[in-house]
Amino acid sequence: MRLRVLILTNLFPTPWDPLRGTFNRQQFERLGQYHDVDVLTAVDFRERLGGRKGEVKVSGLRTDHFTFVYPPRIGRTLHAMCWLLSLLVQRGRQLRLANYDCLLVSWAYPDAVAVGWLARRLGIPYVVKVHGSDLNVQAEHALRRPQIRSALHHANAVIAVSEALATKAVALDADAARVHVLYNGVDPGLFAPGSRSQARERLDLSPDAPLVLYVGNLKLAKGCLDLLEAFPALLAEHPRAQLVYVGAGPCQTSLLERASALGCADRVFLAGPVPHGALPDWFRAADLLCLPSHNEGVPNVVLEAMSCGTPVVATRVGGIPEVLPSQAGLLVPAHNRDALSQALIDAAGTRWERDAIVRQAAAFRWDDNVSRLAGILRDVVAASPSPLRATA
């Protein structure tokens, strides 16, 4: 049974942020092999004002966007209503006429809350995919929590990227029988072991200096400043070590200023954001990846680094412990910079068995992930009453 599926999310590449939501891009593009998929992405109105930064072309999908308009700085609890009104004003007629079989929404708030209301309006089932901070952070706010709870409770299925997140979804009143754990995947054709020296040569990096790599948004919740504070301890053991940040975000200036204050600015480098297809060389070039996040689902960079044979130092949060065994890396408590310093030193002194790390990553493949996702959507539609197409 081939379905007509509409995906709604804020986590997908757009001309205003071409690198956004690459994990969703990989998953949804493959889902298009099973079902007819449209992707409608919410673009923050402030982002629209910043101008286009590139073009986005995704084979096998019909993609579009709408502008999410809301009152800035106030009324965060009204964002789901604003999200839905923005969607209906700009794409309402299109949605009423499209005759979708089901909706898939990626991110709990405001996206899933709004889509829950939309699905009831259209009379079709909906599936919620949750990622991490949408439940770990957003659901902790008193006025948003009941909205998220309702969206999860009424969903025909909930897809969580880790067991930890699935447990949280059930605690938020999702029907346990409808909650599915579906770890993100890796493309082994792209993320695979390779020559470290050749990767460093292509990236114009030192051929032999120990290299710690961070890949992700440069924001406090990702622990990027914790990593910087922990780095001097590694430098004391390995004076030629380098710390490279790949990504962009609000902490960029703070990182540069703090590196200067710590006296290690000459060993810290901000490479900026890079296309997803360029990440394998960064993982191959690194001695280890460090991601000291304060909360997570299962970050794809951990799986992708492992698929390249690169060990990982990460925090014991969310679903990371579920995918990172001791033979592939080290885990530390979040916010603990002393423990992070020691883990960096220990990881740098460990002789890692790269083949064992790659074998661990082999359990996470997009083909398996998407086959299960396609089946979940079919089951949801098969179990639902015939859609009552909206006529209003």
Counting other chains too, the contacts that 346-352 makes at CB distance below 8 Å and 24 or more residues apart are 347/287, 347/288, 347/311, 347/313, 348/210, 348/234, 348/237, 348/238, 348/241, 348/287, 348/288, 349/237, 350/311, 352/311
Name the phi and psi angles at 62, rounded to 5. -100, 120
Name the segment(s) of the chain with CATH classification 3.40.50.2000: 4-185+366-383, 196-361
As given in the structure block, the two tokens for residue 236 are 């004391």
User: Rounded to whole angstroms, what are the CA distances from 175 to 37, 139, 152, 180, 379?
Assistant: 26, 17, 8, 10, 15
Give residue-wise pLDDT tens across range 330-384. Answer: 999 999 999 999 999 999 999 999 999 999 999 999 999 999 999 999 999 999 9
Q: Which segments of the chain does DSSP mark as H helices, in order?
A: 22-31, 45-49, 79-97, 113-122, 133-136, 145-154, 163-171, 196-203, 224-237, 252-261, 279-285, 300-307, 320-323, 337-348, 354-361, 366-383
pLDDT band at 269 (very low <50, low <70, confident <90, very high): very high
Give residue-wise pLDDT tens across range 155-209. Answer: 999 999 999 999 999 999 999 999 999 999 999 999 999 999 999 999 999 999 9
CA diameter of the chain:
69
Question: What region does 173 belong to: left with phi over 0, alpha with psi -120 to 50, or beta?
Answer: left
Give residue-wise pLDDT tens across range 207-266. Answer: 999 999 999 999 999 999 999 999 999 999 999 999 999 999 999 999 999 999 999 999
Reported as half-sphere exposure (CB side, CA atoms, 13 A), residue 314 has a value of 33
Name the phi and psi angles at 88, rounded to 5. -65, -40
b/e burial code for range 310-338 (CB count within 10 A of at least 16 → b): bbbbbbebbbbbebbeeebbbbbebebbe
Q: Is 175 helix (H, G, I), strand (E, B) or coil?
A: coil
Assign domain 196-361 to a CATH class: alpha beta
Alpha-carbon torsion (82, 92, 51, 130), positive or negative: positive
| Mean pLDDT of the residues in the chain | 95
β-pair type (126-130, 102-106):
parallel
Question: What region does 272 belong to: left with phi over 0, alpha with psi -120 to 50, or beta?
Answer: left
Superfamily of domain 4-185+366-383: Glycogen Phosphorylase B; (3.40.50.2000)
